[in-house]
Chain A
Amino acid sequence: MPKKTINLLIQKHEQKNLLGKIFRFVPIVSVCSLILFLLFYGSSVVLLKTNIKEYNTLQDAIEQIEAKIAGKKNTEGLYVSTITILAVIEKILGEKYHYSDILPEIYSLNTYNTIVSDSTIDKNGQVTLSVTATSIDILDEFIEKLKEKEISNKFSQINAQGIVRDKNGEFTMTVTFVTKGVKS
């Protein structure tokens, strides 16, 4: 028959040790936490006072500079208004079309034999011309002249609308084209 052994004392001994350990550590933890608390609290008070002092110094400096700026309110108003008007003028001029660059070009199409009787130019550079010539050959020469302008990159999208011959034998043609690079 096998021999059986039962240990009844071990568990009771371990429990006693654990409580002893807790009882030993609790005072150490309390002292450490007290020291840490005092350290942190002291630091926070010092930090708070330093920040408040710096905050007040900055506040004073701001008040002084605000008083200086308030004294220059007229100058500020004048400057802001000037910039506002300048911004508006800049925008208006940005959309402006330089007709003075294109008018001589259109006027130069007017010769002894061909008369540009009516012309319209809009702000997008779209030109419509009404040209009158004494013969169809002269009108052909006029078209060649326009083509030269296209090659020299002044005009583009040249379009002849139609040719009409009137009672006097004169030919009238309507031409449309777009001028280049004259917007500011």
Chain B
Amino acid sequence: MTIKEVFSFIKKYETVISSVAIILFIIILTIQLLLPNMQKVNEIYNQRDELKLKLAKLQKKEKILSSLDQQYYKENFSKLSLSLPETKDFVLLFTTFDQLQTKTGVSILRTDFQLGTLSTDSAIFKQGKPTDTYKIPLNLKIAGNIEQIIQFLDSLSDFSGRLITINNIRLEIKNDEDIIAMLDGSAFFYPIPRAIGSIDSSLPEMNQNQADIMALISRINLVIPQEAKAENIPVGIQNLFYK
């Protein structure tokens, strides 16, 4: 086929050839431009939906945080920390028993704590779950009358001191005024995780039982030890040359 014949062929079928060229060009443009564009639109549309959800979540979180009474939580947190401290704090355990002795009138004849490992630093950095409570097994021998013993048992979990539960009681009834009770129980501590989660993590919600405990604690008047308050951390001598 000569060039002349090719030209005459093109001239004869120019409409068809140009149409086919346009269709091919459009197919290429669709693959190169339209499809990636549509894909991008779809991606952004999905991401926009995710952002909307995230925004709603953050708005809810911000609303809850704005409505919180920081002072109320600060005071109650200090009280809660006395019932469930971060460390074993055996000094606080003895203080609790001294207070209970005075309050209820029972005589504590013997206290026996199984303190175990004293370091709890490594536990502090572990991510804690509410089930990871740390127990301090204890045995108590107390003497008093039945009312005093009942009041003592009630006071162990009334948030006036360390939270203590009793697993087993052995009563020796000598006479009406002289009952000896041997108590096997546990005190608790809970190292709070230092990390509070990412900024978009949702806040845990307080259930009815927890709200009741919180209301009960807020009604209790406790003398919080000065060292337990964050603003009273000693910073040392301000001026070394002036006493």
Q: Which residues of A contact B (CB under 8 A)?
A: 22-23, 26-27, 29-31, 33-34, 37, 40-41, 44-45, 47-48, 51-52, 54-55, 58-59, 61-62, 65-66, 68-70, 72-93, 95-97, 99-100, 103-104, 106-107, 110, 115-123
Contacts and interface: CB of A to CB of B under 8 A. Distances in A.
Contacts of B214: 82, 86
Contacts of B192: 81, 84-85
Contacts of A116: 171, 173
Contacts of B29: 37, 41
Contacts of A107: 146, 173
B interface, size bucket = 35 or more
B139 interface: no
Contacts of A68: 62
Contact of A88 (B149, B165, B190): B190
A48 B40 contact: yes
A48 B37 contact: yes
Given A81-B192, A91-B133, A96-B165, A72 B66 contact: yes
A76 B73 contact: no
Given A51-B41, A62-B58, A91-B131, A110 B150 contact: no
Interface of B: 13, 15-16, 18-20, 22-23, 26, 29-30, 33-34, 37-38, 40-41, 44-45, 47-48, 51-52, 54-55, 58-59, 61-62, 64-66, 68, 70, 73-74, 76-77, 80-81, 83-84, 128, 130-131, 133, 146, 149-150, 153-154, 157, 163, 165-173, 188, 190, 192-193, 196-197, 199-200, 203-207, 209-210, 213-214
A86 to B, nearest CB: 4
A33 B74 contact: no
A31 B153 CA distance: 92
A91 B130 contact: yes
8 tightest CB-CB pairs across the interface, nearest first? A30-B19, A87-B130, A86-B210, A30-B22, A58-B51, A44-B37, A51-B44, A26-B19
Contacts of A65: 55, 58-59, 62
Contacts of B22: 30-31, 33-34
B150 A48 contact: no
B190 to A, nearest CB: 5
A80 B127 CA distance: 13
A22 B58 CA distance: 61
B45 A51 contact: yes
A44 B42 CA distance: 10
Best-buried of B19, B77, B214 by chain A (most CB within 10 Å): B19
A58 to B, nearest CB: 4
